[in-house]
């Protein structure tokens, strides 16, 4: 996204060719951005400058990517274009009011469909105004949408978070030469700046690595090393949670890539114990809770998650989806208003609905490592949303996972 509206070309290596990324690339091509695939796997994006995007001829279909839709709404709010953002059945159920309100306060014309869901119409608007916005709920997607709109606003845009959320957007803005002032729970930027094309090496995704890290932790005799993984401190909550549960985790070869901290992570099997996960850790591990729930099912005692209402607004209601799935394989689990309680015990196997949610599907694949009987996970097509080669990686790591 930033490369598309930068001045000059950007070269991106280490890119995940997932459906979410492919949908984002397609959207910018539809808005006149030249994006080339190189033989060495790099992507070259020839930026059109801050106001160079063209009006798309059709709706921009972002598939299952809530990140792409919410961030693109912020970016397009300050462009002189009109566009409609849509996606698949799951995405068209995701709430958009959280981005509509702050963008409207800035002067943007962001119009969701009835019920506050996509498709979302972005109309041409006059000059945006910077705002000082206190976010009611911690959300990196909402924060990022406001920051992207803030680049096109008059004056300064500042955001106060109730809890720390991932700061990839702030780091990436700085990498493209756009200054961003950060002070723990507050981030500000001045409108009217310029992004400059650059070279980016994308770190490995901790959310994807988490499935195999938990797999090694719960499976007797296992050890796994995942190399080149991003260990950004605003999103490494799963490592903190797993350590509190007793997991043996070693971090080595720490370095920086693309303005992000990167390392190799080794996990060895160890007995796990249930823990209480406090709200201040939730935002640092928000995407990893499906597989954290599997670790909890294999731990001794109860694991309690509170302050995790945001999980109800992902690709599925992940609180309900995980509790339903765990009960389906014989694990004691209870749904709380803002979280869940999971009592460790035997995983018996059985039928699990994934509700079309890639992380739910992959989590129960990992649960099969400790299951007495096979687990059949239904509606898994969206695994390619974030991890297109998951089955191949699972096979190479020794899991017995087959496509039915």
| pLDDT tens digits, 377-388 | 999 988 988 899
- Are residue 296 and residue 167 in the same domain, yes or no? no
CA dihedral 239, 245, 251, 256 (to 10 degrees): 10
Nearest-angstrom CA–CA distance, 373 and 390 = 22
Q: Is 145 a domain residue?
A: yes
12 located within any domain? yes
Annotated catalytic, 287?
yes
- For every residue of the chain, which 3-state class applies, written as one string? CCCCCCEEEEEEECCCCCHHHHHHHHHHHHCCCEEEECCCCCEEEEEECCCCCCCCCCCEECCCCHHHHHHHHHHHHCCCCCEEEECCCCHHHCCCHHHHHHHHHCCCEEEEECCCEEEEEEECCCCEECCEEECCCCCHHHHHHHHHHHCCEECEEEEECCCCCCCHHHHHHHHCCCCCEEECCEEEEECCCCCECCEEECCECHHHHHHHHHHHHHCCCCEEEEEEEECCCCCCHHHHHHHHHCCEEEEEEEEEECCEEEEEEEEECCCCECCEECHHHHCCCHHHHHHHHHHHHCCECEEEECCCHHHHHCCCCHHHHHHHHHHHCCCEEEEECCEEEEECCCECCEEEECCCCHHHHHHHHHHHHHECCCEEEECCHHHHHCCCCHHHHHHHCCCCCCCC
Is residue 219 assigned to a domain? yes
Average pLDDT over the chain, rounded to whole? 94
C-alpha 157/C-alpha 172 separation (Å) is: 17
Q: For the segment 276-324, what is each residue's pLDDT rounded down to a tens digit?
A: 999 889 989 999 999 999 999 999 999 999 999 989 988 899 999 999 9
Q: Is 270 found in the same domain as 155?
A: no
Predicted confidence at residue 257, as pLDDT, reads 86
> pTM, whole model, 2 decimals?
0.89
Q: Are residues 176 and 290 both part of a single domain?
A: no
* pLDDT, tens digit (0-9, with 9 covering 90-100), for 8-47: 999 999 988 899 999 999 999 999 999 998 777 799 999 9
Residues forming a β-bridge with 289: none
Domain endpoint, select from 150, 172, 201: 201
- At 373 the pLDDT is 95
Asked, for residue 403, whether it belongs to a domain, the answer is no
Q: Are 15 and 59 in contact (CB under 8 A)?
A: no
Task: Give the pLDDT confidence score for residue 258 in this predicted structure.
Answer: 80
Q: Of 150-154, 220-224, 233-237, 255-259, which gets the smallest average pLDDT?
A: 255-259
Domain end among 148, 183, 201? 201
pLDDT at 85: 97
What confidence score (pLDDT) does residue 335 get?
Answer: 96
How confident is the model over 323-362, as pLDDT tens digits?
Answer: 999 999 999 999 999 999 999 999 999 999 999 999 999 9
Provide mean pLDDT across the span 97-110: 95
Looking at the structure, tell me whether residues 217 and 194 fall in a common domain: no
- The CA-atom distances, in angstroms, between 124 and each of 59, 210, 216, 287 are 15, 41, 51, 33
For residue 222, the model assigns a pLDDT of 97
Pairing of strands 199-201, 7-13: parallel
pLDDT for the residue 125: 83
Domain co-membership, 196 together with 213: no
Q: Are residues 212 and 170 in the same domain?
A: no
Can you tell me the distance from the alpha carbon of 312 to that of 139, in angstroms, rounded to the nearest whole number?
13
Kindly report, residue by residue over 166-209, the tens digit of the pLDDT.
999 999 999 999 999 999 899 999 999 999 999 999 999 999 99
CATH of the domain at 168: 3.65.10.10
- Beta bridge partners, 251, equal 265
Query: Looking at the structure, do residues 180 and 233 belong to the same domain, yes or no?
Result: no
Whether 68 shows a pLDDT value over 80: the answer reads yes
Angle between helical axes of 358-367 and 289-297 (0-180°, round to 10) = 20
Same domain, 274 and 167: no
Q: Residues 132-149: pLDDT tens digits?
A: 999 998 899 999 999 999
Structure tokens at 211: 């499935």
Same domain, 253 and 380: yes
Which residues have C-beta within 8 Å of that of residue 254, sequence separation ≥ 6? Answer: 231, 261, 262, 263
Q: Which of 315, 225, 257, 237 lies closest to 15 in space, CA to CA?
A: 257
- Among 287, 302, 357, 395, the active-site one is 287
Per-residue confidence (pLDDT) for residue 26, from 0 to 100: 96
In a domain, 143, yes or no: yes
pLDDT at 242 over 80: yes
Range of the structural domain that residue 111 is part of: 7-201
Domain count, the chain: 2
Looking at 158, 186, 201, the residue that finishes a domain is 201
User: Are 90 and 151 contained in the same domain?
Assistant: yes
Which two tokens mark 332? 């004691």
Considering the domain architecture, whether residues 185 and 59 belong to the same structural domain is answered as yes
Q: Does residue 1 lie within any of the structural domains?
A: no
Average pLDDT over residues 225-237: 95
Residue 17 has a pLDDT of 87
Q: Does residue 104 form part of some domain?
A: yes
| 167 and 34 together in one domain | yes
């Amino acid at each position: 996204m930033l490369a598309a509206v930068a001045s000059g070309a950007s070269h991106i290596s280490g890119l995940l060719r997932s459906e979410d990324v492919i949908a984002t690339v397609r959207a910018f091509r539809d808005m006149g951005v030249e994006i080339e695939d190189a033989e060495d796997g790099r992507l070259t994006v020839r930026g059109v400058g801050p106001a160079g995007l063209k009006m798309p001829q059709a709706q921009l279909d972002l598939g299952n990517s809530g990140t792409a839709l919410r961030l693109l709404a912020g970016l397009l709010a300050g462009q002189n274009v009109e566009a409609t953002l849509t996606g698949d059945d799951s995405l068209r159920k995701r709430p958009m009011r959280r981005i509509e309100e702050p963008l409207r306060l800035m002067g943007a014309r962001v119009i969701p469909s009835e019920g506050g869901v996509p498709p979302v119409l972005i109309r041409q608007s006059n000059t945006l105004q910077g705002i000082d916005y206190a976010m009611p709920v911690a959300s990196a997607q909402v924060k990022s949408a406001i920051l992207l709109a803030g680049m096109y606003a008059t004056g300064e845009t500042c955001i106060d978070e109730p809890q720390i959320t991932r700061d990839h957007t702030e780091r990436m803005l700085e990498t493209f030469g756009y200054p961003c002032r950060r002070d723990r729970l507050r981030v500000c930027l001045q409108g009217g700046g310029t992004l400059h094309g650059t070279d980016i090496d994308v770190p490995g995704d901790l959310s994807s690595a988490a499935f195999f890290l938990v797999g090694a932790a719960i499976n007797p005799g296992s050890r796994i090393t995942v190399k080149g993984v991003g260990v950004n401190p605003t999103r490494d909550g799963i490592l903190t949670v797993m350590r509190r549960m007793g997991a043996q985790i070693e971090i080595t070869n720490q370095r920086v890539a693309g303005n992000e901290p990167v390392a190799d992570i080794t996990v060895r099997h160890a007995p796990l114990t249930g823990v209480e996960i406090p709200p201040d850790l939730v935002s640092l591990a928000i995407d990893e809770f499906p597989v954290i729930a599997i670790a909890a099912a294999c731990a001794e005692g109860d694991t309690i998650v509170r302050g995790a209402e945001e999980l109800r607004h992902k690709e599925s209601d992940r609180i309900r989806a995980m509790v339903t799935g765990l009960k389906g394989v014989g694990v004691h689990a209870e749904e709380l208003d803002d979280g869940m309680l999971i009592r460790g015990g035997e995983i018996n196997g059985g039928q699990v609905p994934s509700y079309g949610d890639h992380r739910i599907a992959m989590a129960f694949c990992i649960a099969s490592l400790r299951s007495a009987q096979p687990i059949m996970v239904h509606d898994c097509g969206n695994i390619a949303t974030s991890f297109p080669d998951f089955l191949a990686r699972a096979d190479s790591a020794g899991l017995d996972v087959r496509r039915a």
